[in-house]
Structure formats: C-alpha cells, structure tokens
C-alpha cells in the first residue's frame, strides 16, 4: 500500500492538514509567514501536495516548492529553524492522530526531501 493509503487516505490527510495549520498559526516561531495568506486556499493546496507526495492521486496544480517559498526566503528570512518548526508541527499532528511512528518517520522524510527547494538553495 502507498503511504497515503496507510495513513488512511483522503479523510485522514485532510484532517491532518487542518490540525497542522491550526498549530502553525498558533506557533509564534512561524505564524508571521502566514499573515497575508488565505488559509482556506493554503490548506487545500497543502492537502493536494501532500496527497501527491504520499503516493495518492496527483491533483496538485500549485507552484513548485522553490517558487512557492522563494519570496519568503528573500523578504522574510525563511531559514532552517522555521523549516524545523514546520516539520515538528507536522509530526506532532500525526502523533495526536495516533499515526504509528514508522509512518510518521516516512512523512518526515518526505517533508525533509523538500528542504533545499523550500529554502531556495
């Protein structure tokens, strides 16, 4: 089974992304990056992106990770510490949803694989 299926498919990924962004918006290390973001649209894009990244259906039509975040690096100083905080919020979310550690590690590895693109280097 794909990671997407093992996580519980569409309902599980959607629930996880909603909880994840609630955490992100309450996290003072990183919430300033989202000050001008439409969070409904953002959550929809993130659901589609993670669904694709986890091996589910590919309906992602947003920007690639470098283009999506380059302005944050340039104008707001997005760096590794912020990336680490995002990965931490994602892992905590999955822990709260009782996702097994082995699957959380796979999710973290996929998130990690985007780091250099997100940080434009």
Phi/psi-derived region of residue 62, left when phi > 0, alpha when psi is between -120 and 50, beta in every other case = beta
The nearest distance, CB 33 to ligand HEM, in angstroms, is 4
Separation CA 120–CA 25 (nearest Å): 23
Q: Which residue is nearest to ligand HEM (CB)?
A: 62
CA 100 to chain centre: 18
Residue 23 or 82: the one with the smaller Cβ distance to ligand HEM is 82
Q: Applying CB under 6 A, which residues contact ligand HEM? A: 30, 33-34, 36-37, 42, 45-46, 49, 62-63, 68-69, 72, 78, 82-83, 86, 111, 114, 118
The nearest distance, CB 115 to ligand HEM, in angstroms, is 7
The nearest distance, CB 98 to ligand HEM, in angstroms, is 21
């Amino acid at each position: 089974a794909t990671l997407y299926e093992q996580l519980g498919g569409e309902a599980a990924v959607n629930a996880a992304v909603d909880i994840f962004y609630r955490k992100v918006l309450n996290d003072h290390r990183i919430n300033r990056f989202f000050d001008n973001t439409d969070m409904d649209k953002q959550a929809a894009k993130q659901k589609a992106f993670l669904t694709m990244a986890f091996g589910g259906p590919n309906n992602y039509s947003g920007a690639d990770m470098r283009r999506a975040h380059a302005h944050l690096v340039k104008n707001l100083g997005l760096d590794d510490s912020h990336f680490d905080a995002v990965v931490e919020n994602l892992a905590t979310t999955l822990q709260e949803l009782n996702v097994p550690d082995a699957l959380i590690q796979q999710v973290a590895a996929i998130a990690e694989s985007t780091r250099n693109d997100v940080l434009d280097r």
